[in-house]
């Protein structure tokens, strides 16, 4: 049996569930990548079966997912079937819907800024199915099974707003008045609760929680759902930070949703859009709270990388204005202007070469960056043998982008000879890739904390390649939550 970084007890429980369901012994098992959740996901498979095993950290949350999944299956909704549950509800197995999320399915369109007809069709399919789970999913549902509570109300609104305030806003160091902010939070709560619908609020309806199986969308990770208004899910999907939909595409998808939802209720479009505008702001603040907690505090790379995208979305949203919340709007404008969260604009036109280069700095403690292009990754250079400025108190709070650290490294000289060899290797490799018409190449520089040596080396390499070859270089200082495009 193949097990990768897997707790033995977890596997014993999940293997037992697999064997009881399938009647087959000794399945192979693979730990699947998870980004935001504390749950662990595994693929267990034999010659005849492939199932997903889940180890949850929170029993009530597991029970909510299992109860909701069973109800949705009874309604014939496109969700995974739960096939077995441990006695303590901490482990369960479910239908395997494959490896392709909607986010991965539309990745080319996200990267190019131009969705293909096929990608757009799948997005329309997905959002057109949303009313089905909102209305038919709510039909006959015992909402008391939902976790942490049954209904979207003032309390849950304040959870989202305070999540933003304490996990993100305070971490930025922007000064603000608690009293004035609370006044706007109170007004927002009143506005959001003006309308409600007896529907299922998915809560985290976004492209990473939609799997494409047999060319059809299937919904996963709805364990945080509850009774609530339809606007929240539409906002979550259309304004997902890294999906970066254009205004035109958002409008097209919104019209597809409105057409589908009219099968269930009468919709007045102008009012719907006005109320949706309010929910987009709430969702955006909730997302920033999550990015702050998972990224700024837990230092999870995906969330750090997502912050500039969310800030860019927020900046665009504020252009339409929220006169109802003058103090909050001013605080948010200050937030969007912080240099550390700026996402560099793409260059006006792509170079002739199709080759795109991605360069990372990273901490070995957090793991080597994965290659999202699907080509298996490229060079990984270990900077830990180089004299470490992080050992000295005066450099601990600085990074490899700060002048004192740069001076330390360059005067020491070790990193310069290190990079000299890398430049020769990189130059030859890039020339061959360009000659052969390859499209992706990746360089990663790691050190102990991903703060000093790796940051300096990645920055200098990106500058060298961009200057020498004039091709697109995407630089990501993963542990610093910073990105740049040369």
SS3 per residue for 213-251 = ECCEEEECCCCCCEECCCHHHHHHHHCCHHHCCCHHHHH
Same domain, 80 and 107: no
Q: Which residue has the higher pLDDT, 410 or 351?
A: 410
**Cα angle 35-40-46, degrees, rounded to a multiple of 5:** 120
pLDDT digits (tens, 9 = 90+) for 134-177: 999 999 999 999 999 999 999 999 999 999 999 999 998 899 99
- Specify the number of domains making up the chain: 3
Q: Say if 348 falls within a structural domain.
A: no
Q: Say if 250 falls within a structural domain.
A: yes
Domain residue limits at 366 = 356-485
Query: What CATH number is attached to the domain comprising 271?
Result: 3.90.1200.10
Answer yes or no: is pLDDT of 85 > 90. yes
Q: Say if 361 falls within a structural domain.
A: yes
SS3 104: helix
Q: What are phi and psi of 107, to 5 degrees?
A: -60, -40
136: nearest Cα among 87, 66, 75:
75
Same domain, 12 and 109: no
Q: Are the beta carbons of 209 and 220 closer than 8 angstroms?
A: yes
209: nearest Cα among 218, 201, 200:
218
Q: At which residue do the structure tokens 């949850």 appear?
A: 56
CA–CA distances in Å: residue 8 to residues 15, 25, 55, 185, 419? 10, 16, 12, 46, 42
Q: Say if 302 falls within a structural domain.
A: yes
The reported pLDDT for the residue numbered 137 is 97
Reported confidence tier of residue 301, pLDDT bands at 50, 70, 90:
low
Whole-number Å distance between alpha carbons of 75 and 94: 17
Same domain, 206 and 293: yes
Across 130-139, 236-245, 370-379, least confident range = 370-379
The reported pLDDT for the residue numbered 40 is 87
Same domain, 169 and 317: yes
Query: What CATH number is attached to the domain comprising 83?
Result: 3.30.200.20
Percentage of the chain lying above the pLDDT 90 cut: 71
Q: At which residue do the structure tokens 């909102």 appear?
A: 134
Same domain, 37 and 89: yes
pLDDT digits (tens, 9 = 90+) for 307-340: 888 998 999 999 999 999 999 999 999 999 988 7
Q: Say if 350 falls within a structural domain.
A: no
pLDDT digits (tens, 9 = 90+) for 387-424: 999 999 989 989 999 889 999 999 888 999 999 999 99
390: nearest Cα among 374, 375, 404, 372:
404
Mean pLDDT of 282-302: 86
DSSP state for residue 262 in the 8-state scheme: T
Same domain, 217 and 271: yes
Q: Are the beta carbons of 68 and 133 closer than 8 angstroms?
A: no
Q: Are the beta carbons of 478 and 380 closer than 8 angstroms?
A: no
Q: Is the pTM of this model over 0.75?
A: no
Q: Say if 180 falls within a structural domain.
A: yes
The reported pLDDT for the residue numbered 9 is 59
Q: Say if 468 falls within a structural domain.
A: yes
As a whole number, the mean pLDDT across the chain is 90
DSSP state for residue 209 in the 8-state scheme: G
């Amino acid at each position: 049996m193949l097990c990768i970084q897997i707790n033995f007890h977890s596997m014993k429980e999940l293997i037992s569930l697999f064997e009881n369901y399938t009647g087959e012994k000794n399945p192979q098992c693979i730990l699947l990548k998870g980004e935001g959740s504390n749950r662990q996901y595994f693929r267990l498979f034999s010659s005849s079966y492939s199932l997903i095993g889940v180890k949850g950290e929170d029993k009530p949350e597991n029970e909510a997912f299992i109860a909701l999944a069973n109800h949705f299956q009874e309604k014939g909704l496109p969700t995974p079937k739960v096939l077995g549950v441990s006695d303590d509800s901490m482990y369960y197995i479910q239908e395997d819907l494959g490896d392709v999320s909607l986010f991965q399915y539309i990745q080319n369109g996200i990267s190019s800024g131009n969705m293909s007809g096929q990608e757009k069709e799948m997005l329309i399919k997905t959002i057109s199915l949303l009313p089905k789970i909102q209305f038919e999913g709510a039909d006959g549902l015992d909402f008391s099974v939902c976790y942490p509570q049954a209904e979207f109300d003032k309390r849950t609104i304040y959870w989202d707003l305070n999540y933003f305030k304490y996990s993100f806003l305070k971490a930025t160091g922007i000064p603000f008045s608690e009293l004035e902010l609370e006044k706007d939070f109170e007004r927002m709560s009143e506005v959001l609760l003006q309308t409600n619908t007896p529907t299922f609020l998915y809560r985290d309806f976004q492209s990473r929680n939609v799997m494409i199986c047999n060319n059809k969308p299937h919904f996963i990770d709805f364990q945080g759902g509850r009774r609530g208004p339809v606007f929240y899910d539409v906002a979550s999907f259309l304004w997902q930070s890294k999906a970066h939909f254009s205004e035109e595409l958002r409008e097209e998808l919104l019209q597809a949703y409105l057409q589908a939802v009219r099968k269930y209720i009468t919709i007045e479009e102008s009012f719907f859009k006005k109320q949706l505008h309010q929910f987009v702001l709430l969702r955006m603040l909730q997302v920033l709270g999550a990015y702050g907690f998972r990224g700024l505090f837990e230092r999870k790379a995906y969330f750090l990388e997502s912050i500039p995208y969310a800030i860019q979305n927020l900046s665009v949203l504020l252009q339409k204005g929220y006169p109802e919340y003058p103090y909050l709007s001013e605080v948010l404008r200050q937030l969007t202007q912080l240099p550390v969260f700026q996402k560099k604009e793409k260059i006006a036109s792509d170079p002739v070469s199709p080759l795109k280069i991605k360069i990372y700095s990273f901490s070995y403690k957090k793991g080597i960056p994965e290659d999202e292009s699907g080509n298996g990754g490229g060079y990984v250079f270990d900077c830990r043998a180089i004299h470490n400025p992080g050992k000295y108190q005066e450099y601990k709070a600085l990074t490899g982008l700060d002048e004192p650290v740069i001076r330390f490294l360059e005067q020491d000289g070790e990193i310069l000879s290190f990079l000299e060899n890398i430049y020769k290797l990189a130059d030859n490799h890039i020339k061959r890739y360009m000659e052969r018409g390859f499209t992706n190449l990746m360089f990663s520089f790691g050190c102990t904390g991903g703060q000093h040596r790796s940051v300096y080396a990645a920055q200098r390499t990106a500058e060298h390649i961009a200057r020498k070859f004039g091709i697109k270089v995407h630089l990501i200082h993963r542990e610093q939550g910073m990105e740049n495009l040369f």
